[in-house]
Amino acid sequence: MLTFSFKNSQISASQIKRYGTVLAGYVATLQDVMKQRSYDCYESSILLSGNRQEIKEIQNHAKQFISSALRYVIVIGIGGSNLGAKAIYDALLGSTDTISIQRFPKLICLDTCDVHTAQTVMQTLQQEIVSSDQYIINVISKSGSTAETVANTAYFFQMGAQKLPEFEKRVVITTDEDSVLWKMSKEKGYTSLAIPKKVGGRYSAFSSVGLFPLACLGIDIAQVCKGAQWALRQGISDRIEKNPSAQSAIALVSQYTKRNVIHDTFFFAPALETLGKWYRQLFAESLGKVPLGKKNTKAIGITPTVSIGSTDLHSMAQLYLANPTSRFTTFVSIAKTIDTPRLNGSEWTALVPGLQGQTLHGLMKTIYQGVVNTYTAKKMPFVQIDMKECSAFTLGAFMQMKMLEVMYCAHVLGVNAFDQPHVEIYKKEVRKLLK
Ligand code: PA5
């Protein structure tokens, strides 16, 4: 479960009412999408977490690859094609991967083309893998033609095909059913997983894109989806004051109109950093564009940033507090974590008054409260999201809540949340150079 507090968001009841009226039609559209149950519009990503048959099929596919021997799930994909799975994996397991070196299976993501990473991964596989059940290569690309993904895949096939056991049997391709990659995958007989046509990359975390690798990694994807369903029930409610996604969108948009052009999501949990990056991509790629039908207007320019508590208090807090303008903050905290012993009786606790008897998590909570008090005193606008715990359920809920929030922001700002026309500009340039 998540709990929300909007009391410091500085939105008035009249703003909620005004924006609520703007959103009413769109809420009805989303409710309709839920009723129609067909994947023929861009919002249909909201159907994914309730599609039990599809979830079962993904689990069944994963079962064919899972065994106690599995060590590495290698995802080759970028942006919306890897960030959702990585966000959940890192939050639950991955953030301590470099310390828990003997915990398997591990997720390895190859997104950009980095020769050191690609080579190290390949060398590690060649040294460690002795049987085919120890690894999976999941290539994920909706378009099937993203340069970095195709190049990393080509590298893997070139370097691994001969050297890794039963390489081709361990390849899973996730893509659009009518992409060239899909055709190729089918011809070669690789396991092929489809992405519903209208579900865009950054909204695809609850499709085979996010759920298949997570299931292979032993994460309870049914719980991820249950969490998403929980967020959906509230997030498509026409009672705006009971709809956290809509309220959060209203807060963001009204702060933007007050020139608060930076949206900082401040996670008081280091394991949620990748979740922050997932949200940053969702937000920037969905909203950073020129409003529809207003060609000569400037693009919407709310810049999403990610801060980590308490680390970034020792890095960014000086700036945030000295110049509190232009910024709107969403704090994200986790209420309950694993129990650690209370700090007791040693001469170390005496160095910081009040530390005696605290737990590590208790100290973090106190620091967080201190920051909240400071923001309040300085009248800096913020909302608070508190996760009951860091679990598959709460992560699914957070992601669905945010996907709806972004759709609502797009509706109010008059932009298309589902395209990315300006990304094409540099891609075209790269294609030209490659030729
Ligand atoms: O969210 C998006 O649409 C993008 O970030 C894409 O996921 C990203 O560009 C990768 O594209 P593709 O999945 O087609 O390889």
State in Å: Cα 216 to ligand 1 middle: 22
* Ligand 1 pocket, Cβ-based, cut-off 6 angstroms: 78-81, 141-143, 146, 149, 200-202, 285, 420
Predicted confidence at residue 340, as pLDDT, reads: 83
Atom nearest to 80 CA in ligand 1: 7
Residue of 42, 45, 76, 81 to mutate, ligand 1, most atoms within 8 A of C-beta = 81
Per the listing, tokens 């891609």 go with: 427
State in Å: Cα 141 to ligand 1 middle: 7
Residues of the chain with pLDDT under 50: none
Atom nearest to 420 CA in ligand 1: 3
Predicted confidence at residue 161, as pLDDT, reads: 86
Predicted confidence at residue 338, as pLDDT, reads: 86
Atom nearest to 209 CA in ligand 1: 13
State in Å: Cα 279 to ligand 1 middle: 14
State in Å: Cα 200 to ligand 1 middle: 8
Residue of 76, 86, 111, 146 to mutate, ligand 1, most atoms within 8 A of C-beta = 146
- The Cα 415–Cα 412 span in angstroms is 8
Residue nearest to atom 2 of ligand 1 (CA): 201
State in Å: Cα 190 to ligand 1 middle: 21
Residue of 42, 75, 76, 78 to mutate, ligand 1, most atoms within 8 A of C-beta = 78
Phi/psi zone of residue 144: left (φ > 0), alpha (ψ -120 to 50 degrees), beta?
Answer: left
State in Å: Cα 406 to ligand 1 middle: 17
Predicted confidence at residue 295, as pLDDT, reads: 87
Domains of the chain as residue ranges with CATH? 2-32+225-339+348-421 (3.40.50.10490), 39-219 (3.40.50.10490)
Amino acid at site 3: T
Q: How confident is the model over 232-271, as pLDDT tens digits?
A: 999 999 999 999 999 999 999 999 999 999 999 999 999 9
Atom nearest to 79 CA in ligand 1: 5
Atom nearest to 140 CA in ligand 1: 13
Predicted confidence at residue 58, as pLDDT, reads: 98
Listed residue (327, 323, 322) closest to 258, CA to CA: 327
pTM of the model: 0.97
Q: Report helix angle 13-36 to 244-257, nearest 10.
A: 130
Predicted confidence at residue 346, as pLDDT, reads: 78
State in Å: Cα 82 to ligand 1 middle: 9
Atom nearest to 200 CA in ligand 1: 3
State in Å: Cα 78 to ligand 1 middle: 6
Report residue 217 CA to chain centroid gap: 17
- The Cα 17–Cα 132 span in angstroms is 58
Predicted confidence at residue 351, as pLDDT, reads: 93
Q: How confident is the model over 38-73, as pLDDT tens digits?
A: 999 999 999 999 999 999 999 999 999 999 999 999
Residue of 111, 143, 280 to mutate, ligand 1, most atoms within 8 A of C-beta = 143
Convert 348-377 to b/e letters by CB count within 10 Å (16 or more is b): ebeeeeebeebeebeebbeebeebbeebee
State in Å: Cα 150 to ligand 1 middle: 12
- The Cα 179–Cα 176 span in angstroms is 5
State in Å: Cα 281 to ligand 1 middle: 10
